[in-house]
Amino acid sequence: MSVSVSNVNEGDKCPDFDMPASGGRRAALKTLKGKPFVLYFYPKADTPGCTKEACAFQEALPQLGHIGIEVIGVSKDKMPPIEKFAAKYDLKFPLASDFGTDVTERFGAWVEKSMYGKKYMGIERCTFLIDAKGKIAKIWHNVKVPGHAAEVMAAAKALG
């Protein structure tokens, strides 16, 4: 089992991505050129922590939209569970499927985890704030859900 080490740092150019997303959309870097956005990685759709995180971003969406920030959630779930999750909680922002973990690995979010002494590979809950020039403005690793969306919003407002 390999441990993913992020080669992506604040100030770096955002790695390219193009993934299918909820609502028949695509989450692609090329469609976001010139716009700041939030890309957050979550372990699994419709689990307690991921639900709280998605709902917090949904709640912050009007304020983030007001300052021109789009939000995209990414997991390795296939599209049917992602669509069900988005519909269940009326999530308006795109939830993207990185089933092959290609994008997740590029961002360094595919990491070795451990539960009950068993090691396995999974998605680290992390968030990337990308500025309008396509550079990574801020990275949060090992995110704790309570208060995270507000923290991201504060950093997004500081982008100017």
Question: Hey, where are the domains in the chain?
Answer: 18-124+138-144
Q: The pTM is what?
A: 0.94
- Are residues 68 and 51 in contact, defined by beta-carbon separation less than 8 angstroms? no
Report pLDDT for 7.
Answer: 75
Closest C-alpha among 122, 123, 126 to residue 145: 126
Report pLDDT for 16.
Answer: 96
Whether 55 sits among the annotated catalytic residues: the reply is no
Q: Catalytic one among 14, 50, 55, 126?
A: 50
Tell me the pLDDT tens digit for each residue of 57-80. 999 999 999 999 999 999 999 999
Residue 155, CA distances (Å) to 23, 59, 149, 160 in order: 28, 17, 10, 9
- Are residues 46 and 81 in contact, defined by beta-carbon separation less than 8 angstroms? yes
Instruction: Describe the strand order of the beta sheet including 37-41 as a list of residue ranges.
Output: 25-28, 18-21, 95-97, 70-75, 37-41, 126-130, 136-140
Amino acid at residue number 36? P
Report pLDDT for 6.
Answer: 57
Tell me the pLDDT tens digit for each residue of 27-60. 999 999 999 999 999 999 999 999 999 999 999 9
Tell me the pLDDT tens digit for each residue of 103-118. 999 999 999 999 899 9
> Could you name the CATH architecture of 18-124+138-144?
3-Layer(aba) Sandwich (3.40)
Average pLDDT of the chain is 94
Tell me the pLDDT tens digit for each residue of 117-141. 999 999 999 999 999 999 999 999 9
